[in-house]
């Protein structure tokens, strides 16, 4: 299967590292390297130069639009070069947006009919996580699986990207079933590990269309504490122990404000894992 991936790119080391990781997770994928062109539509240094050259405000606006677009095209071209070096069939996608970059990226994924949305994350937690980030907004609003690549990855975490197993949080729910289905679809050549952190859960192994692939059910102890955080910690610990390439969790589709403020297994895993996390949206 050739995966179609839409990748948020802004020229940062985090975005570049996400492309590198994506190339290992989805070899030979088709990728749309997407730069969201936001106000003031030019870098500070470029605007400083243009202010000196412009005769009036109208001319300054025109110059910022023209020169800023050239700057944006050069930036997204760098991302395409990185993606092609990673083995992807990549093309640039430059889009205007006036804010809400995560929502805009989710819209782009729908327009391009992408299989997965891939974004980098600096691993923000605490207050910054509550306030939200582009990666949070993508996860909340996209109808496609969202894969968040934390930065930086340790050497062992990076090494696992090439051939490590895919670990799926499992509790027998519709969200977990969707997560399992997407894991099988997007990672057809990898072992899939279903991990249950609920000692009372007797959910059966889901039917697999993998045709002999290694699908295992693991039981882990989530210990005590707040349910979502304790469960996510157990999943993360298992992913580390098994050298997983990706940790996949389902989403229950709550509203963004409720999900961020109250937390969930998906969001707790997303904010605290140091390995790539893919969130499969609720049907």
Domain-wise residue ranges, the chain: 4-150, 156-280
* 166-169/215-219 β-pairing: unpaired
Distance CA(247)–CA(250), nearest Å, equals: 10
Q: Which of 68, 135, 276, 48 is nearest to 76 (CA)?
A: 68
> Quick one: how many helices (H) and strands (E) in the chain?
11, 10
pLDDT reading at 280 higher than 60: yes
What are residue 195's DSSP bridge partners?
A: 169, 218
The mean pLDDT value for 113-118 works out to 96
Return the closest-CA partner of residue 134 out of 180, 262, 142, 174.
142
Nearest to 240 by CA among 196, 274, 279: 274
Quote the CA–CA distance of 238 and 197 in Å, as a whole number.
10
pLDDT mean over 78-95: 96
128 neighbors 15 (Cβ within 8 angstroms): no
Check whether 131 has a pLDDT greater than 50. Answer: no
| 156-280 is classed CATH 3.40.50.620 | yes
Secondary-structure class of domain 4-150 per CATH: alpha beta
Phi, psi of 145 (to 5 degrees): -55, 135
pLDDT-wise least confident of 93-102, 213-222, 224-233: 213-222
- DSSP bridge pairs for 146: 117, 279
Instruction: Supply the pLDDT for residue 96.
Output: 85
Rounded Cα distance, 81 and 97, in Å: 23
Could you give the CA distance from residue 162 to residue 155 in angstroms, rounded to a whole number?
12
Residue 99 has what pLDDT?
76
Token representation of residue 230: 């304790």
Arithmetic mean of pLDDT, 49-74: 89
Q: Please state the separation of Cα 173 from the chain's center in Å.
A: 22
Prediction pTM value:
0.85
- 135 has pLDDT over 70: yes
Residue 272 pLDDT grade (very low, low, confident, very high; cuts 50, 70, 90): confident
pLDDT reported for residue 208: 59
Residue whose token pair is 């993606």: 83
First CA to last CA distance, the chain: 22
Q: How far is CA 52 from CA 40, 56, 275, in A?
A: 17, 10, 46
The span from the CA of 146 to the CA of 103, in Å, is 12
Does the pLDDT of residue 257 top 80, yes or no?
A: no
Segment among 1-5, 9-13, 183-187, 200-204 with least mean pLDDT: 200-204
Whether 4-150 shares its CATH topology with 156-280 is answered yes
Taking the C-alpha atoms of residue 187 and residue 24, their distance in angstroms, rounded to an integer, is: 11
5 phi and psi, to 5 degrees? -120, 130
């Amino acid at each position: 299967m050739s995966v179609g991936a839409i990748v948020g790119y802004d020229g940062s080391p985090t975005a570049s590292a996400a492309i590198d990781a994506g190339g290992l997770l989805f070899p030979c994928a088709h990728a749309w390297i997407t730069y969201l062109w936001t106000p003031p539509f030019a870098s500070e240094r470029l605007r400083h130069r243009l202010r000196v050259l412009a005769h009036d405000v109208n001319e300054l606006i025109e110059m910022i639009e023209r020169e800023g677009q050239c700057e944006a095209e050069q930036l997204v071209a760098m991302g395409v070069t990185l993606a092609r070096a990673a083995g992807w069939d990549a093309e640039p996608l430059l889009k205007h947006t006036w804010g809400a970059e995560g929502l805009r990226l989710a819209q782009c994924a729908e327009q391009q009919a992408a299989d997965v949305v891939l974004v980098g994350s600096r691993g923000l937690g605490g207050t910054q996580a509550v306030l939200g980030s582009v990666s949070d907004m993508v996860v909340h609003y996209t109808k496609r699986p969202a894969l968040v690549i934390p930065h930086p990855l340790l050497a062992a975490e990076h090494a696992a990207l090439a051939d490590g197993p895919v670990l799926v949080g499992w509790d027998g729910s519709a969200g977990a079933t969707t997560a399992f289905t997407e894991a099988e679809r997007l990672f057809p050549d990898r072992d899939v590990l279903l991990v249950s952190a609920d000692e009372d859960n007797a959910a059966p192994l889901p039917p697999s269309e993998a045709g002999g692939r290694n699908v295992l059910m693991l039981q882990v102890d989530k210990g005590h504490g707040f349910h979502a955080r304790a469960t996510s910690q157990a999943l993360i610990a298992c992913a580390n122990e098994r050298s997983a390439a990706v940790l996949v969790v389902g989403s229950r589709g709550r509203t963004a404000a409720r999900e961020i403020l109250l937390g969930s297994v998906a969001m707790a895993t997303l904010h605290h894992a140091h390995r790539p996390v893919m969130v499969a949206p609720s049907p």
